[in-house]
């Protein structure tokens, strides 16, 4: 495993860093096991309350200096991080794949997303534009400008152990913020590797200590961050349940939160679909990352006239899936993150059966040669009714629900009938169908695609969704605005003091 060495991972690693320096901790030691082969990779000292306090104090201090760096200079730092990531892409992708369990291609793809967001953020560092308005008063000028917020708290999930952090941190940094990152304790080594990569750059460019803090910890650290008034923005990725708790705690102290939570994404396949494209989109969407993306395709809503054809093609496609070690590029599907996730998968299958689901591709946990970790499961497909409680729930596993529809309005209603609102797509060559799906009466999701599956969004667009997905937007477009505060400035350069709205106040 020479990638561990290349990324600076030791047998024992500190879990708290203020950028260049690692902070000793009295916290619990957690081992990181690979879901690929069940082997112990390395261990990490979790952050305790003292480690957390050190990080917050350093971050506060660093912010005072970092916010004074011109934004394009901050962009230069991010550019250098992008260069370092290119150098480490191979090794970091391998670590992501080994520690998290996604395929090697997807591990490298995740690092590519990091590189891409660095490029995006570098350009953005010269484009943090505000508007100029026309004042209603003579001799007045009015405009708005954007200032950094301070500390951005980043809580990330296991499924994208490095990319989601980079979407947040690269933008937050060019905006002039400092960051405190609490990664998922299921994938601590990925975060430690990222911290080593950025530390090299930060040291060389003399970035103040405390701009990039890592706090590997459990739920207690997440709770501290959510309640901490010194952290004006908490960006959290994970389940809707976690996001609700974070959102409430942050709102209670009038902080800002950026929530990217559960999805329950559907593809509508219409009679005018190119079935080959629809199949590839659906199968990759459902089994890619073993069904553990927030953008995973969980529901297929298929027109009744092609329902049987789609079903039999899916059954055939699923019979060809190779499940096994994700570092072996022959395999399509790797393991789930841990045996707890396997348990949730098994329970969801049971619940689906109890609620009336008919499995056309059976699931099951795999044992034996190559499956020793106990984390490998069979992707499966069930015919369901759209309102089964299990169908309205996000299960982070490769379980695909399929259901028929008769007219497009009905299909859109089914698609929108779940509590989550992240990603959606329609497979059709019919312009009218596509445009209806994208119209105000169409998909209610943050992402709506045509002839593309629900997953694999590019970084250039704003990423996030509505309803229980939390409403936040990360990554591209103008998502940067979430990391800054807007200030409206009115300047009077006349010799009088006219009041707005024509009010007179004569002394």
Question: Is 260 part of the annotated catalytic residue set?
Answer: yes
Nearest-approach distance from CB 423 to ligand UN1, in angstroms: 7
**Could you give phi then psi for residue 38, rounded to 5 degrees?**
75, 5
Of the candidates 175, 190, 294, 445, the residue annotated as catalytic is: 294
The tokens describing 122, both together, are 């570098």
Of the candidates 113, 185, 260, 394, the residue annotated as catalytic is: 260
The tokens describing 45, both together, are 């000292």
* Nearest residue (CB) to ligand UN1, 46 versus 399: 399
Nearest-approach distance from CB 458 to ligand UN1, in angstroms: 7
Nearest-approach distance from CB 146 to ligand UN1, in angstroms: 26
* Nearest residue (CB) to ligand UN1, 98 versus 165: 165
* Nearest residue (CB) to ligand UN1, 370 versus 456: 456
* Nearest residue (CB) to ligand UN1, 19 versus 262: 262
Nearest-approach distance from CB 164 to ligand UN1, in angstroms: 6
CA of 160: how far to CAs of 10, 114, 289, 406, 428, in Å? Answer: 22, 11, 10, 37, 30
Q: How far apart are CA 56 and CA 210, in angstroms?
A: 8
Question: Is 144 part of the annotated catalytic residue set?
Answer: no
CA of 159: how far to CAs of 47, 104, 265, 404, in Å? Answer: 21, 14, 16, 30
Closest CA to 183 of 77, 58, 88, 96: 96
- At 2 the three-state DSSP class reads helix
The tokens describing 460, both together, are 């250039």
- DSSP-assigned letter for residue 40: E
Q: How far apart are CA 35 and CA 276, in angstroms?
A: 32
* Nearest residue (CB) to ligand UN1, 208 versus 471: 471
SS3 content of the chain, % helix, strand, coil (to 5): 40, 20, 40
* Nearest residue (CB) to ligand UN1, 159 versus 235: 159
Contact 209, 241 (CB under 8 A): no
Give contact residues for ligand UN1 (rule: CB under 6 A): 113, 159-160, 164, 237, 293-295, 455-457
Of all residues in the shown chain, the one whose CB is closest to ligand UN1 is: 457
* Nearest residue (CB) to ligand UN1, 154 versus 164: 164
Largest CA distance in the chain: 91
Q: How far apart are CA 17 and CA 194, in angstroms?
A: 11
Contact 397, 416 (CB under 8 A): no
Q: Is the dihedral of CA 347, 353, 357, 363 positive or negative?
A: positive
Q: Residue 162 is inside which H or E element, if any? A: none
Nearest-approach distance from CB 460 to ligand UN1, in angstroms: 11
* Nearest residue (CB) to ligand UN1, 46 versus 111: 111
∠ CA 121-124-127, nearest 5°, is 170
Contact 86, 73 (CB under 8 A): no
* Nearest residue (CB) to ligand UN1, 88 versus 102: 102
Q: How far apart are CA 503 and CA 284, in angstroms?
A: 63
Q: Is the dihedral of CA 330, 288, 336, 192 positive or negative?
A: positive
* Nearest residue (CB) to ligand UN1, 295 versus 420: 295
Q: How far apart are CA 366 and CA 351, in angstroms?
A: 20
CA of 450: how far to CAs of 76, 183, 330, 410, 453, in Å? Answer: 36, 33, 29, 18, 8
Q: Which distant-in-sequence residues (6+ apart) come within 8 Å of 463 by Cβ?
A: 167, 260, 446, 447, 457, 473, 474, 475, 476, 479
Nearest-approach distance from CB 53 to ligand UN1, in angstroms: 29
Nearest-approach distance from CB 291 to ligand UN1, in angstroms: 11
Nearest-approach distance from CB 335 to ligand UN1, in angstroms: 17
The tokens describing 311, both together, are 């079903």
Contact 159, 101 (CB under 8 A): no
Question: Which amino acids are annotated catalytic?
Answer: 260, 294
């Amino acid at each position: 495993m020479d990638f561990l060495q290349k990324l600076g991972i030791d047998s024992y690693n500190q879990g708290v860093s203020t950028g260049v320096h690692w902070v000793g901790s009295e916290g619990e030691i957690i081992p990181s096991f690979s879901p690929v082969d069940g082997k112990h990779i390395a261990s990490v000292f979790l952050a305790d309350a003292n480690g957390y306090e050190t990080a917050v104090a350093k971050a506060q201090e660093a912010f005072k200096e970092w916010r004074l760096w011109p934004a394009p200079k901050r962009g230069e730092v991010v550019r250098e991080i992008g260069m370092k990531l290119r150098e480490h892409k191979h090794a970091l992708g391998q670590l992501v794949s080994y520690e998290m369990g996604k395929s090697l291609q997807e591990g490298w793809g995740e690092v590519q997303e990091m590189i891409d967001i660095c490029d995006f953020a570098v350009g953005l560092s010269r484009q943090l534009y505000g508007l100029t308005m026309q004042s209603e008063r003579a001799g007045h000028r009015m405009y708005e400008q954007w200032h950094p917020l301070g500390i951005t708290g980043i809580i990330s999930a296991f499924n994208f152990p490095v990319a989601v952090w980079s979407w947040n941190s690269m933008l937050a940094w060019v905006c002039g913020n400092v960051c405190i990152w609490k990664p998922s304790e299921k994938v601590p080594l990925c975060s430690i590797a990222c911290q080593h990569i950025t530390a090299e750059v930060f040291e060389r460019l003399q970035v103040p200590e405390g701009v990039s803090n890592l706090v590997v910890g459990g739920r207690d650290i997440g709770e501290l961050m959510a309640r901490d008034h010194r952290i004006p923005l908490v960006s959290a990725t994970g389940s809707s349940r976690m996001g609700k708790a974070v959102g409430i705690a942050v709102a209670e102290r009038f902080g800002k939160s950026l929530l990217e939570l559960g999805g329950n994404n559907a593809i509508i396949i219409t009679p005018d679909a190119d079935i080959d494209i629809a199949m590839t989109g659906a199968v990759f969407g459902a089994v890619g990352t073993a069904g553990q993306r927030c953008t995973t395709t969980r529901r297929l809503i298929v027109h009744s006239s092609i329902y049987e054809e789609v079903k039999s093609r899916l059954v055939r496609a699923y019979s060809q899936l190779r499940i096994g070690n994700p570092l072996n590029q022959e395999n399509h599907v790797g393991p789930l993150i841990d045996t707890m996730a396997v348990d949730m998968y098994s329970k969801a299958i049971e619940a689906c059966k109890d609620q009336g689901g008919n499995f056309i591709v059976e699931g099951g946990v795999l044992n034996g040669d190559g499956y020793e970790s106990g984390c490998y499961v069979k992707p499966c497909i069930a015919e369901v009714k759209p309102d089964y409680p299990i169908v309205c729930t996000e299960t982070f596993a490769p379980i695909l629900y399929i259901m028929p529809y008769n007219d497009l309005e009905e299909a859109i209603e089914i698609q929108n009938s779940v509590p989550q609102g992240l990603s959606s797509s329609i497979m059709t060559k019919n312009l009218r169908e596509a445009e209806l799906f994208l119209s105000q009466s169409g998909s209610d999701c943050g992402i709506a695609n045509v002839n593309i599956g629900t997953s694999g969004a590019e970084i250039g667009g704003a990423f996030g969704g509505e309803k229980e997905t939390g409403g936040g937007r990360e990554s591209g477009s103008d998502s940067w605005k979430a990391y800054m505060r807007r200030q409206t400035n009115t300047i009077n350069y006349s010799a009088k003091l006219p009041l707005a709205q024509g009010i007179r106040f004569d002394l």
